[in-house]
């Protein structure tokens, strides 16, 4: 028997379970994991859906409707890992796609809100899983989501931010933390910008202003951390060394620490290619007035992903379609993706077939 014939007759279901498990853990795209899972019962038992590999984000296509973005019944996603466009039907009688919450990056579920009932629902386009949360006590006009914890898909621990509420010339707003144990909301007044959740604390920041740190459950203001020098008002208005390029600050949890990612952008020509990013690590001390931002020059093997209002970080892996030490961001003026190489200081376009998009992290 020739080697070709032996290859054709090989029973691939007899691969050792430990080898199949290692293969499954290295798949960068959840579609490949689903296909592996569907081969046979032996492969399914070696790669359970409850233990999927770390997934890298897809690009979620958005459609413009008046002044907001929405979805369609047959929603498209683009995977940079495989270079393929996936079309997934979202048809569900209980979903009103016009109530899709736009403004962040999405983890496993697509969020929707019913402002009349003050309720939020979440839909997983891969598993068709759907869950809803109890009504909030307050009225949240223009919400966006901050997922909390290390496994937000399963813990369903969520912070909802009101990002657009004003009363006359006064900025007011609200944030609410959903506690899955008590099935209740912990709500607090305040106007919040770019936010993150870390070690039971809620961090909120805006350019050239202190970062406010709250206890997420008691709502107590714990700290106010001064912004880095690059965000001083002198530099903001062009009197210092940075000129007028400062545009936005993000808070991103990366490898167990909080990073402040400062995006500089030329207001004059509005070209993403002119963007630059400055990165600071938070040296956090619980003692009052001891925390500070420290400038760093690289992020090692991490990758940072930024949406319109928030971002996240992942560890690079081979064949994922993403490069380590880079920032992948959605430009707010074009809603298209770009990549910033931190060490080289250069910007490149990211291939994408959509006119408008944002990040979606698939989950099972």
Please give the Cα distance from 208 to 212 (Å, whole number).
12
Confidence band of 232 (pLDDT split at 50, 70, 90): low
- Final residue belonging to a domain, choices 33, 53, 73: 53
Q: Are residues 162 and 219 in the same domain?
A: yes
| Angle value at C-alpha 320, between 110 and 296, nearest 5 degrees | 90
pLDDT of 213 > 80? The answer is yes
Nearest of 106, 109, 97, 112 to residue 65 by alpha carbon: 97
Spatial neighbors of 12 by CB under 8 A, at least 6 apart, are: 39
Q: Are residues 25 and 130 in the same domain?
A: no
Give Cα separations from 201 to 154, 195, 198, 219 (angstroms). 20, 11, 5, 9
Residue with tokens 């223009």: 142
Q: Are residues 40 and 168 in the same domain?
A: no
Share of the chain above pLDDT 90, in %: 23
Q: Are residues 58 and 45 in the same domain?
A: no
3 state DSSP class of 200: coil
Asked if 102 and 64 touch (Cβ cutoff 8 Å), the reply is no
> What's this model's pTM, rounded to 2 decimal places?
0.84
**How many CB atoms lie under 10 A from the CB of residue 337?**
24
Confidence band of 236 (pLDDT split at 50, 70, 90): low
Better-predicted residue by pLDDT, 29 or 197: 197
Q: Are residues 126 and 228 in the same domain?
A: yes
Q: Are residues 41 and 123 in the same domain?
A: no
Q: Are residues 321 and 294 in the same domain?
A: yes
Say how many residues make up the chain. 364
Better-predicted residue by pLDDT, 236 or 59: 59
Q: Are residues 99 and 37 in the same domain?
A: no
Asked if 252 and 194 touch (Cβ cutoff 8 Å), the reply is no
* Residue 168, pLDDT score: 47
Nearest of 201, 153, 176 to residue 363 by alpha carbon: 153
Please give the Cα distance from 172 to 174 (Å, whole number).
7
Q: What is the dihedral of CA 79, 80, 83, 87, to 10 degrees?
A: 20
Q: Per mean pLDDT, which range of 15-29, 41-55, 150-164, 302-316 is the poorest? A: 150-164
Average pLDDT in the chain: 79
Average confidence (pLDDT) over 342-358: 93
Q: Are residues 62 and 16 in the same domain?
A: no
Q: Are residues 201 and 270 in the same domain?
A: yes
* Residue 11, pLDDT score: 64
What would you report as the CA-atom Rg of the chain, rounded to the nearest whole angstrom? Answer: 22
Beta bridge partners of 259: 252, 281
Domain membership of residue 325 as a residue range = 54-361
pLDDT in tens, 105-124: 888 888 888 877 888 888 88
* Residue 78, pLDDT score: 94
Say which CATH number the domain at 172 has. 2.120.10
* Residue 352, pLDDT score: 94
Structural domains of the chain, count: 2
Asked if 69 and 57 touch (Cβ cutoff 8 Å), the reply is no
pLDDT in tens, 303-316: 999 988 788 899 99
Q: Are residues 295 and 201 in the same domain?
A: yes
- Final residue belonging to a domain, choices 53, 71, 93: 53
* Residue 7, pLDDT score: 54
Please give the Cα distance from 11 to 42 (Å, whole number).
11
Q: Are residues 315 and 184 in the same domain?
A: yes
* Residue 290, pLDDT score: 85
């Amino acid at each position: 028997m020739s080697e070709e014939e032996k290859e054709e007759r090989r029973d691939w279901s007899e691969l050792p379970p430990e080898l199949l498990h290692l293969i499954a853990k290295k798949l960068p795209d959840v579609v490949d994991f689903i296909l592996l899972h569907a081969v046979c019962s032996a492969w399914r038992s070696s790669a359970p859906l409850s233990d999927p590999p770390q997934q890298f984000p897809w690009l979620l296509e958005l459609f413009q409707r008046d002044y907001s973005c929405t979805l369609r019944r047959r929603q498209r996603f683009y995977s940079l890992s495989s270079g393929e466009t996936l079309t997934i039907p979202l048809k569900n009688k209980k979903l009103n796609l016009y109530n899709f919450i736009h403004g962040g990056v999405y983890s496993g579920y697509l969020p929707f809100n019913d402002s009349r009932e003050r309720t939020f629902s979440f839909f997983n386009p891969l598993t068709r899983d759907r869950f809803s949360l109890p009504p909030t006590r307050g009225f949240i006009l223009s919400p966006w989501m901050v997922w909390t914890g290390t496994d937000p898909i399963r813990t369903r621990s969520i912070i909802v931010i009101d990002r657009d509420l004003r009363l006359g010339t006064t900025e007011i707003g609200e944030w609410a933390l959903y506690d899955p144990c008590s099935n209740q909301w912990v709500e607090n007044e305040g106007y919040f910008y770019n936010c993150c959740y870390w070690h039971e604390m809620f961090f909120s920041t805006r350019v050239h202003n202190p970062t406010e740190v709250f206890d997420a459950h008691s709502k107590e203001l714990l700290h106010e951390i001064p912004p880095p020098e690059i965000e001083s008002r002198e530099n903001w208005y062009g009197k210092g060394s940075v000129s007028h390029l400062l545009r936005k600050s993000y808070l991103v949890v990366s490898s167990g620490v909080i990073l402040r990612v400062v995006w500089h952008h030329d207001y004059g020509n509005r070209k993403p290619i002119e963007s630059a990013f400055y990165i600071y690590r938070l040296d956090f001390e619980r003692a009052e007035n001891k925390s500070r931002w420290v400038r760093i020059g690289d992020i090692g093997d991490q990758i940072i992903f930024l949406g319109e209002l928030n971002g996240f970080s992942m560890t690079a892996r081979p064949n994922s379609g993403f490069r380590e030490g880079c920032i992948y961001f959605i430009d707010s003026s074009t809603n298209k993706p770009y990549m910033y190489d931190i060490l080289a200081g250069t910007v490149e376009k990211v291939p994408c077939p959509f006119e408008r998009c944002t990040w979606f992290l698939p989950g099972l």
